[in-house]
Amino acid sequence: MRILVCNDDGIDAPGLKLLEEVARRLSDDVWVVAPDGKRTAASASITIGRPLTMRHLGDNRYSCSGTPADCVVTAMTWVFKEGRKPDLVLAGINDGRNAAEDIVYSGTLGIAREATFWGIPAIGFSRVKNPDAKPEDADFLAGFIRGLWQEREAWAIEGHWLSVNLPVHLPAPVVQPRIGRDKIGTTAQVISEEESNTTLIIPRGRAHATTSGDENDWIDRGYVCLNRLNWFGEARVRKELLEGLAR
């Protein structure tokens, strides 16, 4: 099995190191393409018509000057241009949970979405800040991914990917939560004002709003949260509306 590992926290991030270790327990054909720096909230944006720099770091490892999703695009169009494409894409492990609206903002999940555009099953992993990280976590995650891979026909359908949020402690039971609401970027701080120019910063962090049964609720209760997401944005309107607009 050929596995591609990417992230949005950068090539030197601890979460990427752990996920790479986990991948190597599952396969001896592991490749890593990750941004050359942190790319938080990059979503699924890609770089078109502008140069990208790929740096070969040895041992099937590359850094990319672009976005998290660029790491998938450059892998498919350049790294694997002459060879077999990956069988599985693993993204993360993100430094912080990706819940609620983060499923759209997240660069980690943008990687997974991009992988599905290439017809490749993908899993995005995120974990709470300051987890109780232990060497044994890799054992749990390797078994978790192995189980998902063996049962991939149950989830890896076209245009779908998995988002997995990990709690403070592992191992942990697994639940499929309701997607909640916990908006990031709700305030702006003025850094400077000069003539017609105002410089703002949107602070990091969020309220961690939660209601019973959503991702934040289950994560805080110590569960692994698994959601299957898709990129199909269509929600058809009633025929009567279209007929009214045509008058």
Note the pLDDT tens digit of each residue in 27-53.
999 999 999 999 988 889 999 999 999
193 assigned to some structural domain: no
Residue 60 located in a structural domain: yes
Per-residue model confidence (pLDDT) at position 237: 87
Which residue matches tokens 């979460």?
A: 15
Residue 198 lies in a domain: no
Tokens representing 35 are 């941004």
Model pLDDT, residue 233 = 73
Please indicate, yes or no, if residue 89 is contained in any of the structural domains: yes
Percent of the chain residues topping a pLDDT of 90 = 85
Q: What is the pTM of this model?
A: 0.92
Beta strand spans in 8-82 (E)? 29-35, 54-58, 61-64
Instruction: In whole angstroms, give the CA distance from residue 90 to residue 125.
Output: 8
Number of domains observed in the structure of the chain: 1
Q: What is the pLDDT of residue 204?
A: 83
Asked if the bond preceding 202 is cis, omega within 30° of 0, the reply is no
Give pLDDT, residue 108: 97
Domain with 221 in it: what CATH number? 3.40.1210.10
Residue 235's pLDDT is 79
In a domain, 194, yes or no: no
**Closest by alpha carbon to 111, among 25, 200, 189, 5?**
5
Q: Which residue has the higher pLDDT, 239 or 171?
A: 171
What are the pLDDT digits (tens) for 162-205? 999 999 999 999 999 999 998 888 889 999 999 999 999 988 87
Print the domain residue range for 118: 2-183+210-245
Q: Give a yes or no: residue 204 inside a domain.
A: no
